[in-house]
Amino acid sequence: MNSLPDELYSEVVGVTERARPPVSVPPAPTHGPSRTPPALRPPFRPSAGAEHLYGTVAMTANLDASTTSQPSGNTPEAGPPGGRGLVTKLAAIVVGLTAAITLMLCAFGLPSANGGPHHAPLGVTGPQSAVAAVQKQLPGDDWEVTAYGDSRALVRAVEERDAVGGLAFDGDGLTVYTATAGGQMISNAISGLGTALAEQQHVSATVHDVVPFPKDDPRGTGLASAALPMIFGGMLPAIALLQFFPGHANLRTRLAGVVAFALAGGAAVTAVLQFGIGTLDGDYWVTSLGLGLGMAALAVPFLGLESLLGYAGFGVGSVVMMFLGNPLSGLTTGPYWLPDGWSTLGQLLPPGASGSLLRANAFYDGTGAGGPALVLGLWTLAGVALMFAADRRRNGKAGSKAGDTPAAV
C-alpha cells in the first residue's frame, strides 16, 4: 500500500527509472536478419506535483553531498600514515641501540685495555741493598713493596693474602713466589718481574707457586668459565619464578623459591667445578654455600626491584650486573689487575664479591672471606627490604581503597 495517488506514484517511479544509468546493448550483427528498432518513447515530462517532489529530493541530495564532501574549517586534515612521529620513534630506537652497543664495548673493553698491576702488594726479602733497589726500581702505582724478615714470613704473607707474591734474594739467586689461584695475570706479571731482576743481577731465578690451581686444571680455565653461569644463576631463577608465580600474592613464594634454588644451584656448580673439571680444591660444602650466597645476592635484589618498580626495575638491575658487575668482577684476573676505582666498584657488586668469596673458600681455607660474604649478605638483605617495601605499599593502597568505599546500609 502506498500513500501517494496512483498517478503521482507512477510518475515518481518513472523518475526513478529515468535516473538509472543506461544499459549498453551490443550492436546487432550485420550479417543476421534485419530487425526493426523499437519505437522511441516520447520524452518524459512529470506533472507539477511530481516535479515538485523530484526537485525537493534532488536539492536534499545535493545538500547532503556538499555537507559530507566539504569538511568544516575546524576539522584537521588527516596526515599521511606515519609522518613525523614515526621518524622520531625510529630515530630514538636507533640512537638507544647504538648507545647500548657502545656502552657494552666500553664496559668489556676498557678494563682489559687498562689491565695491569695497580697497587698490588708485593713482598720482598733479602739483603737491605737488594730490597732498597727493588723499592726504588718498581713504580709505586703498580706495586706496593713490603719488606719481610725471611722467606718463611714472605710465604706466610702470600698464603694469608697479605701479598699477591714476593721476591726472595739470597746468595744463590732469586726465588719468585706467586699465587696462581689468586690471579693468573698478576702471577704472570710477578714471574716476569723476577726474571727481569735476575737478569739484571746476573743470577738465576726460581719460581715457586705458593697457592696453585689443582693439577687437573693448572690454568684455572674452569674458574673463568664460571663467570657467566654465576650471573645467570641469579637472573634465571628470578625470571622463571616471576613467570610461574606472578602477582603480589606469590611474593613470599618467589622468595622461598630463590632461596631453595640458591642452595641447589650452589651445590651443583661447585660439584661440576670441583669433581668434574677439577678447578676447585677446598671444602665442598663451604664452597657451595658461598656460591649459593652469591646467587641469592643476585636473584633476591632482582625480585625486589621487579616487585617495587616492575619489569623496568628488573631491566635496570640486569644491565648493571651484566655490563658492570661481570667485567669488573676480576674473577679471572684478580682484583689487583683492574684500576683502583673500577676494582673497588667491582668488589662491591655481587659478581665480584662472589668471585672473591669463591677464591677464599676454594684456595685459601676461608682467609679473606669475611668482606665478600658481608657484601653479599647486604645485597640479599637489600633485596628482601625491597620486596617488603613493595608488599607494604600494596597493602597501603588496598587499605586506602577500602576506606574510600562507602559502607553498605
Contacts of 353 (CB under 8 A, 6+ apart): 294, 297, 347, 371, 372, 373, 375, 376, 379
- C-alpha span between 112 and 129 (Å, rounded): 36
Least confident of 61-65, 139-143, 166-170, 204-208: 61-65
- pLDDT reading at 227 higher than 60: yes
Angle, vertex CA 273, rays to CA 270 and CA 275, nearest 5 = 90
The pLDDT-based confidence of 409 (bands split at 50, 70, 90) is very low
Q: What is the mean pLDDT of the chain?
A: 81
pLDDT digits (tens, 9 = 90+) for 194-220: 999 888 888 889 999 999 999 999 988
Residue with cell 597493602: 395
Instruction: Give the per-residue pLDDT at 203.
Output: 87
Grid cell for residue 154: 714472605
Q: What is the pLDDT of residue 28?
A: 52
pLDDT computed for residue 331 by the predictor:
87
Q: What is the pLDDT of residue 174?
A: 92
Look at residue 361 and tell me whether its pLDDT is greater than 60: yes
| CB contact set of 189 (below 8 Å; sequence gap of 6+) | 116, 117, 120
pLDDT grade for 256, boundaries at 50, 70 and 90? very high
Confidence at residue 59, expressed as pLDDT on a 0 to 100 scale = 47
Residue 63 has pLDDT above 80, yes or no: no
CA distance 143 to 27: 108
pTM score > 0.85 for this model? Answer: no
Mean local confidence (pLDDT), 177-196: 93
User: Which spans in 209-250 are helix H?
Assistant: 221-225, 227-244
pLDDT of 178 above 70: yes
Split at pLDDT 50, 70, 90, the class of 17 is low
Alpha helices for 160-226 (secondary structure H)? 184-200, 221-225
| Distant-in-sequence, close-in-space partners of 127: CB < 8 Å, separation ≥ 6 | 169
372 compared with 56, residue with greater pLDDT: 372
Evaluate if residue 346 carries a pLDDT over 50: yes
Which residues have a Cβ under 8 Å from the Cβ of 362 and sit 6 or more positions away? 181, 274, 279, 280, 281, 282, 287
Cβ-based neighbours of 207, under 8 Å, separated by 6 or more: 176, 178, 191, 194
pLDDT of residue 60: 47
**Residue 54: which pLDDT band, with cuts at 50, 70 and 90?**
very low
pLDDT score, position 61:
44
Q: What average pLDDT score do residues 353-375 get? A: 95
